Structure 1
Amino acid sequence: MKGNAVAVCAPGLQEVQQMVREQYTTTTEGTHIERPENQHIYKIGIYGWRKRCLYLFVLLLLIILVVNFALTIWILKVMRFSPTGMGHLQVTKDGLRLEGESEFLFPLYAKEIHSRMDSPLLLQSTQNVTVNARNSEGEVRGRLKVGPEGALFEHSVETPLVRADPFPDLRLESPTRSLSMDAPRGVHIKAHAGEIEALSQEDIIFHSSDGMLVLDAASVRVPRLVLGAQGPAGSAQGLHEVCVCADGTLYLSAAGADSTCREHSRVCP
């Protein structure tokens, strides 16, 4: 009895499952759901003129990116950028090395400026070249200004040699102040071809603290010395002697058999 009951129930369960599957399929395929009339349908995405504007904007950004990239490559090529520097400017372990001609539009601050061993250092400017030396507080303690008229030193200058070009004259001039040349072992002024001329509005002083003043020349002329009275009879005609006053003033006195400076000392103040 139990075996027959199981055999009868098994076919019935399969038929029920088949009926349920067919009913679900039929109901799903034939179901029609009506939407309310006032319900709107929204599309998700960008359509129409908005889509065209977006594509145009993306294309414009792409063009700008390509132009900027091309300009960057052109600038790198023109400026000659390299891993060691830019153009004539190279970065070394000791600082910056600049070769060739360069132009500075703004002030240049450097600790040392050297040229190559086989070439001089050349600074050019359409106006003046000014070099300032400042102390720790920023005050100018020395200034060198080079212009069309020459070099202007506003403070003292220490140099072993001052020399002009082969053809122009060398002029040392102080328009409003005094000009002083000091050296512990002497000052040598030489003119191999030409004259040495010293002009002053006031006094020209040659001072030697330990030694003497030597004028070594074939002739020494002092054309503007004061001429004393004529010497006594028998004096050498046309000859004069140079006399010195107590204050150092020089004057001429007609030469005689003996010195005539004393009798003509009234020239002294």
Structure 2
Amino acid sequence: MVREQYITTTEGTHIERPENQSVYKIGIYGWRKRCLYLFVLLLLIILLVNLALTIWILKVMWFSPTGMGHLHVTEDGLRLEGDSEFLFPLYAKEIHSRVDSSLLLQSTQNVTVNARNPEGEVTGRLKVGPKMVEVQSQQFQISSKDSKPLFTVDEKAVVVGTDKLRVTGPEGALFEHSVETPLIKPDPIQDLRLESPTRSLSMDAPKGVHIQAAAGKIEALSQMDIVLHSSDGTLVLDAETMCLPKLAQGTQGPASSLQGLYEICACPDGKLYLSVAGVGTTCHENSHICL
């Protein structure tokens, strides 16, 4: 145990105290005190300025319990009202407008919409520029409101799913390669023209080619030859009047020149020519035309 000793004094007992006792003051005095007060005052001023700036930012940005300015947080996501400007890319799963308004995407350069796979690679891109609309994808498809494909494009073919494809250009349609279709017809008041300015025009069908002009005429013009060929069948020219105005004509005899009657003769190569009609055939007399 610790033994405590107590020294008591009684009357008549004198205890000598040490001389030169030092007095220590507790606290901050002098220039340190002034610097501390100045530092506390500076912190108070900074706090008031920050509080004022925070209130000003909240007022300018229109912060509210439901969002910020025209941006409102709802159960379905974010709702943005009015015109908005995005300075950086926008990532969203779905963007749609209100029921009573349209969705407008506008840019001074171009508007680009990208679709990426889980690895981050671009699998589809829609780029609307000032001079061209560009689509990069494996397949491009336009569908109707009932999900019926109207126009489909891929690397192998172009499919038009509508009942009628109408070309309204004044110069018609230009095809660099073959065209396969069951029917070609113009507007009711327009003429149908099939033209190949520098090459030949060929129409092939496994069961025949049907050309019909219900209220007009059919005209075929060619710089070279017009060939009507039937591999297994008969070529029939059925008309009330048939006119061949530029057939080669054989020499007329003096006795028959006034009759004005001719017979049509055919060369071995199929060439047709006129020969003066007689009691019998006169084709052999003008066969020199076939030479």
With normalisation by structure 2, the TM-score equals 0.57
Output the amino acid matched with 1:205.
V
1:260 corresponds to = 282
- Is there any run of 5+ residues in structure 2 with no aligned partner, and where? 1-24, 73-77, 83-95, 104-131, 160-164
Instruction: Say whether the 8 Å CA contact 1:230–1:254 is kept in structure 2.
Output: yes
The two structures, once aligned, show a CA RMSD in angstroms of 3.9
C-alpha displacement at 1:71, in angstroms?
A: 7.4
Q: Deviations over 1:142-168 (max 9, x none)?
A: 9x9943322222222222221222111
Q: 2:59 aligned with 1:38, yes or no?
A: no
CA distance in 2 between counterparts of 1:132 and 1:266 reads 59
C-alpha displacement at 1:225, in angstroms?
A: 0.8
1:203 corresponds to = 225
Matches within 5 A, 1:124-163: 134-135=155-156, 146=167, 147-163=169-185
Instruction: Say whether the 8 Å CA contact 2:265–2:273 is kept in structure 1.
Output: yes
2:200 corresponds to = 178
Fraction of identical pairs, as percent: 46
Task: Classify 1:133/1:217 alpha carbon distance in 2 versus 1 (closer, same or farther; 3 Å).
Answer: farther
Q: Deviations over 1:18-47 (max 9, x none)?
A: xxxxxxxxxxxxxx8442312121324534
C-alpha displacement at 1:133, in angstroms?
A: 6.4
Output the amino acid matched with 1:38.
W
1:224 corresponds to = 246
Q: What is the aligned residue count? A: 202
1:192 to 211, 214, 220: 214
1:72 corresponds to = 80
Q: Deviations over 1:102-136 (max 9, x none)?
A: xx95449656655579x9x6x9xxxxxxx97643x
- Is there any run of 5+ residues in structure 1 with no aligned partner, and where? 1-31, 81-103, 124-130
1:55 corresponds to = 55
The 3-state SS of whatever aligns with 2:52 is: helix
Instruction: Say whether the 8 Å CA contact 2:265–2:275 is kept in structure 1.
Output: yes
Instruction: Say whether the 8 Å CA contact 1:181–1:187 is kept in structure 2.
Output: yes
With normalisation by structure 1, the TM-score equals 0.61
Instruction: Say whether the 8 Å CA contact 1:231–1:255 is kept in structure 2.
Output: no
Instruction: Say whether the 8 Å CA contact 2:61–2:68 is kept in structure 1.
Output: yes
The 3-state SS of whatever aligns with 1:165 is: coil
My pick for the range that moved more, 47-56 or 160-169, is 47-56
Instruction: Say whether the 8 Å CA contact 1:227–1:251 is kept in structure 2.
Output: yes
CA distance in 2 between counterparts of 1:200 and 1:50 reads 89
My pick for the range that moved more, 154-163 or 50-59, is 50-59
2:3 corresponds to = none
The 3-state SS of whatever aligns with 2:264 is: strand
Q: 2:247 aligned with 1:244, yes or no?
A: no
